[in-house]
Structure 1
Amino acid sequence: LPPARRPYTEPETRHDLGRMDVKCRHCGALHWMAEKIAKSSETNPQYGMCCNHGKVVVERLEEPPAELQALLVDNTTQAKEFRKNIAQYNTALSFTSLGVTEDHSINNGGGPPIFRIHGELCHQSGALLPSEGHKPVYAQLYIYEPQAALDYRMENNTNLQRDTMEILQRIITEHHQYAPLFLHAHEVLAAQPADDVSVRLRVAPGVHARRGNLPTANEVAVILPNQPNTEPRDIILRRRNGPLLRISDLHPAYTPLYYVILFPHGENGWHPDL
C-alpha cells in the first residue's frame, strides 16, 4: 500500500525542532534554527522567508485609541457586549460593503457560527449620496452630521448599544485617515455642475509610509464625463446613482476601508508598491 493509505502507527521517537526562539536580525521575526538558510551558520543564522533579508519593511500599526483599547480588553458589561457583536459593529461603521453570496443554511445548529460563501468575495464602493427613497449606508454616513449618522446606524442595528456605537463612530471619524478624504470628495463633487462626474482616490506609488501618502485636497482629481483617465487600482467615487464598483484588492485602502475596527487609524494595507 502507498504510505498515505497505511494504518497510522506512533513513531518510536518524535522529531523535535526545539524552541522557536531565534530572531531574524532584520525584522525580529521568530524562527526555528532549522529554518535558517543552508549557507548560514548557527552562530549567525539568516532567514529569508520573513522579510527577504530586510528588503521588505512593514511598519508597526499604531496603538488603538484609548477608548477602543478599553472595549477590546476590559471586562465591563459594555466591553463584553462590544466583543460579542464586534463584526456587526464593524459592518455598521465600514466605508465599503462586502460583495459576497453568503450561505446561511450551515448555521442552523448549536455550534459556533460559520461564515460560508458561494463564489468570490470582494469589497465594493457606492455613490456618496443615497438614491432617492433610500437611506444612507456605509461611506455615505460619513457625509452626514454625527447625530444623524448615529441615528441611521442604530436604526439598522437595533440590537446594538447606542453608547458603544457613538464611541466607535467618534473614534473612526476623528482618527481614520480616510474619513476626511471621503468628506472632501463629496465637497468636490457637490461643486461640479454636471451629475455624471466622479473623483478618484489614488495613493501615491512608491511611498512606504502607512500614513501621509494619501492625496491632498488639491489632488482629489475630478474625472469629467467621457474622459476615462483612471487606472484599475483607482477608487472611483460618484456623488449619486450608478452601480456598486469593485475595489481592487491591490489598493492600499482595500483592507482599512472595510475593517475599520482593526485599522481605526486607516493605515494602508498591502499593495504592490510596498
Structure 2
Amino acid sequence: MQLIMQLEIVLNNSNQECLQQNDTLSSIPDQSFALKDCPPCTYCNARRFQYEPPGLCCSSGQVVLVSNEMPSLLKQLFCEKDEVSRHFQACVRRYNNTFAFTSLGIHNYDKQLSRRNKGIYTFKVQGQMYHFINDLVPGDQPPKNLQLYFYDTDHEVENRIKGAERMNASVVENLIDVLGSNPYSQFFRNLKDISSLDDCNILIRSNASLDQRVYNMPTSSQVAATWVDEQDGSGQNNHDIRVFAKTGQSHSVKYNYGCYDPLQYPLLFPYGESGWHEGISKVPKSYQNNYSVCQGILQHRGFSSIQALLNKENENFVSQSKQNTVSCREYYAYSFQIRPNDQSMLLHSGRLFQQFIVDTYIKIEHGALPNQKKRMCTEGEDQENDNAPFKRIKKA
C-alpha cells in the first residue's frame, strides 16, 4: 500500500512538471519579432534602433569627432574574401600584437573561448587589462613591440614572425608599408640612427593636443620626443610617459591618455589617431540657448564666510567644465555608431574589434570607479549625520 502511494506521488509530480513545460513552450512566440525602422539621427546621421534612448550617439549634436579613411590595402585585408584576407582576419589579433608599440596584460583571460577551431570566437576577460611600454634596450631578451621598429631592421620581417605560428611574411611586409605613415612608427624608426641609445630616453606625449572635432592626424613631433641625459626635461608634462634605455621595468600607460589606443592598436589607428582623453571639448550650444551671464553668479546671502562662497563657485566651475567636455562613454558611443559612408572601417575589424570593445568597456568602468566611491562616501556621511540625533538621545 505504501509503495502504491509513493508511485502516485511520483506520477503527480511528473504530471505537474509536464504541465509546466507545456506552459513554457506555449509562451514562446511562433513568429519572429523585428525592430521597427527609425529615422537616423538628425545631428550625426547615425543609424538609430527602436527603443534606443535619444542622444545616445552624439548627445544631441554636442559630440563631433572627425574620422580618417582607412588605407586601401588595410581595408582590403579587413573586408575582402580572398585567401590572404581570410587568413589575416582569422589572425588579426596576432598581427596587431606584432606591430603594437605596447604589450598587453590581461587578468584571467579565457583562452578556450578564443580558439579559432572551437565554436564561436569570443574574447572574454575577467578583471583589468593593462598596456605596458618596454625599455628601449632589449637586454638579454629578443626585441619586441616598439623595439622591433629600430633594432635589426634589415631582418625586421624575420624578427616579427619569429616564434609566431601561421603568420604570412608577405602580409607583414604589406603592414610595414601601411604603417610607414604612422607617426609613432616614424619616430621609433628614427631611433636606429642614434649611435648609442644608452645615453637617451624618450618622451611619449599623453595626448597630441589636437582638436579632434576637425583634425586627428598627429605628426611624429607631436607624439614623442628624444632626450639625452644632459637635458633636464624641463618641458616635460607630468602626464607624459618617459621611457629610459634600460631599467628592467615596464612603464604603464594610463587609461585616460590619448596615446592609450594608438599605441596598442596600430591596425585600428594606422595614422596614430589619438583616442579619448580628458579635456576634449563639446560643440557649444550657445547659439541655441539664450544664456544670461548673471545666471551663474552666486549670491553671498546664505554663506557663512567668503571662503564658503569661493569653494561653492569653484565646485560649480569644475562641474560646468565636465559638462562642456566629452566623457569617455560619450566618446566611444559616438565612435561605435553605424553611419553611411563611414571610411574609418572600425566596425569591420572583426576579432580585433572584439578585443577593442572589451578594452574600452573596462576603460569606461575603471573611469567610473572614483565617482562611485565618492558617491558611497557621501551616502555614508549623510547616513551618519541622519543617525547623529539618535546617538545623542542614546547617550543622554
**Which digits, 9 at most, give the CA deviation of each residue in 1:195-225, with x for residues without a partner?**
6x552424344632211376449x7263869
Aligned match for 1:265, one of 265, 268, 271 = 271
Counterpart CA distance in 1 for 2:119 and 2:33 is: 35
Does 2:123 align with 1:110? no
Counterpart CA distance in 1 for 2:156 and 2:147 is: 9
Aligned match for 1:166, one of 156, 173, 176 = 173
| Closer, same or farther: CA 118–211 of 1 in aligned 2, 3 Å | same
Does 2:42 align with 1:31? no
Aligned match for 1:199, one of 195, 198, 203 = 203
Aligned match for 2:86, one of 75, 80, 83 = 80
**Which digits, 9 at most, give the CA deviation of each residue in 1:204-263, with x for residues without a partner?**
44632211376449x72638699896424x232222233111111111121121112222
Q: Which moved more, 1:78-87 or 1:199-208?
A: 199-208
Aligned match for 2:227, one of 222, 237, 257 = 222
Q: How far did 1:88 drift?
A: 0.9
Contact 1:204/1:215, CA 8 A, preserved across alignment: no
Counterpart CA distance in 2 for 1:16 and 1:253 is: 40
**What is the aligned partner in structure 2 of residue 19 from structure 1?**
37
Counterpart CA distance in 1 for 2:51 and 2:233 is: 56
**What is the aligned partner in structure 2 of residue 130 from structure 1?**
138
**Which digits, 9 at most, give the CA deviation of each residue in 1:86-132, with x for residues without a partner?**
1111111111110123445645893234444343111111112211x
Counterpart CA distance in 1 for 2:198 and 2:137 is: 14
| Closer, same or farther: CA 53–215 of 1 in aligned 2, 3 Å | farther
Percent of aligned positions with the same letter in both sequences?
A: 22
**What is the aligned partner in structure 2 of residue 148 from structure 1?**
155
Partner amino acid for 2:151?
Y
Question: Which secondary structure state, in structure 1, belongs to the residue aligned with residue 131 of structure 2?
Answer: strand
- Whose radius of gyration is greater, 1 or 2? 2
Contact 1:200/1:230, CA 8 A, preserved across alignment: no
Contact 1:96/1:257, CA 8 A, preserved across alignment: yes
| Closer, same or farther: CA 77–202 of 1 in aligned 2, 3 Å | same
Contact 1:26/1:51, CA 8 A, preserved across alignment: yes
Question: Which secondary structure state, in structure 2, belongs to the residue aligned with residue 81 of structure 1?
Answer: helix
Counterpart CA distance in 2 for 1:158 and 1:17 is: 43
Counterpart CA distance in 2 for 1:14 and 1:80 is: 32
- Tell which has more relative contact order, 1 or 2 (C-alpha 8 A, sep 6+): 2
| Closer, same or farther: CA 198–162 of 1 in aligned 2, 3 Å | closer
Higher fraction of strand = 1
Q: How many residues align?
A: 250
Counterpart CA distance in 1 for 2:205 and 2:52 is: 41
**Which digits, 9 at most, give the CA deviation of each residue in 1:126-165, with x for residues without a partner?**
112211x211000111113543221111113142111111
**What is the aligned partner in structure 1 of residue 288 from structure 2?**
none
| Closer, same or farther: CA 226–116 of 1 in aligned 2, 3 Å | farther
Contact 1:199/1:223, CA 8 A, preserved across alignment: no
Q: How far did 1:184 drift?
A: 4.7
Counterpart CA distance in 2 for 1:111 and 1:33 is: 31
| Closer, same or farther: CA 73–113 of 1 in aligned 2, 3 Å | closer
**What is the aligned partner in structure 2 of residue 3 from structure 1?**
none
**What is the aligned partner in structure 1 of residue 327 from structure 2?**
none
Question: Which secondary structure state, in structure 1, belongs to the residue aligned with residue 98 of structure 2?
Answer: helix
Partner amino acid for 2:247?
N
**What is the aligned partner in structure 2 of residue 55 from structure 1?**
62
Counterpart CA distance in 1 for 2:170 and 2:267 is: 16
Question: Which secondary structure state, in structure 2, belongs to the residue aligned with residue 220 of structure 1?
Answer: strand
Q: TM-score, normalised by structure 1?
A: 0.74
Does 2:106 align with 1:100? yes
Counterpart CA distance in 1 for 2:56 and 2:111 is: 40
Does 2:238 align with 1:231? yes
Does 2:256 align with 1:245? no
Higher fraction of helix = 2
Give me the CA root mean square deviation. Answer: 3.6
Contact 1:203/1:213, CA 8 A, preserved across alignment: no
